């Protein structure tokens, strides 16, 4: 299974989602490949925001080695599922879909709510971590074999 996590900047939410999903997949004995990307190019080549790195570290997850990159259309070919954090991400990625098959791969990580952008509020990183963790746990339940 190949999973891509997407947000706007690829420095706050989707790096957390990548790290959390990798961690949980490993814990569950699942050999899943997980990556992340952004729809905006401001931070390409940089590591995750230090607040995301610290929050992940507080939960025993190391995301410091990640490097920010842009979403690319070929990601539709590479990945089985593309999880986005909010509705802007959803419309930005769906706008790049070439056909129904591409579009079918794209879903909000949390079915019924968005993961808000924590960039301008330090206090949001811990709640965002918890929301993403909940989404990843639910995703594993739904996608794990057997």
Which residues, including other chains, have CB under 8 Å from residue 67's CB and lie 6 or more apart?
A: 45, 46, 47
Q: Which of 12, 13, 35, 75 is catalytic?
A: 13
Residue nearest to ligand 4NP (CB): 9
Order the strands of the 33-38 sheet from edge to edge: 33-38, 2-7, 81-84, 106-108
Q: Is 56 in the site for ligand 4NP (CB under 6 A)?
A: no
By CB under 6 A, what part of segment 74-133 binds ligand 4NP? 117, 119
Clarify whether 121 is annotated catalytic: no
Q: CA 93 to CA 33: how far, in whole Å?
A: 20
The one among 3, 4, 13, 131 contacting ligand 4NP by CB under 6 A: 13
The one among 5, 8, 56, 82 contacting ligand 4NP by CB under 6 A: 8
Contact 132, 13 (CB under 8 A): yes
User: For binding to ligand 4NP (CB under 6 A), which residues are involved?
Assistant: 7-13, 42, 117, 119
């Amino acid at each position: 299974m190949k999973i891509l996590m997407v947000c706007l900047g690829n420095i706050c939410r989707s790096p957390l989602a990548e790290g959390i999903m990798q961690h949980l997949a490993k814990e569950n004995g699942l050999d899943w490949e997980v990556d992340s990307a952004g729809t905006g190019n401001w931070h390409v080549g940089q590591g995750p925001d230090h607040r995301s790195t610290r929050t992940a570290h507080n939960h025993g997850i190391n995301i410091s080695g990640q490097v920010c990159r842009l979403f690319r259309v070929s990601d539709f070919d590479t990945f089985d599922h593309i999880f986005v954090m909010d509705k802007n991400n959803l419309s930005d990625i769906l706008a790049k879909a070439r056909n129904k098959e591409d579009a079918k791969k794209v879903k909000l990580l949390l079915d019924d709510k968005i993961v808000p952008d924590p960039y301008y509020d330090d206090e949001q990183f811990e709640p965002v971590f918890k929301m993403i963790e909940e989404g990843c746990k639910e995703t594993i339940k739904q996608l794990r074999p057997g």
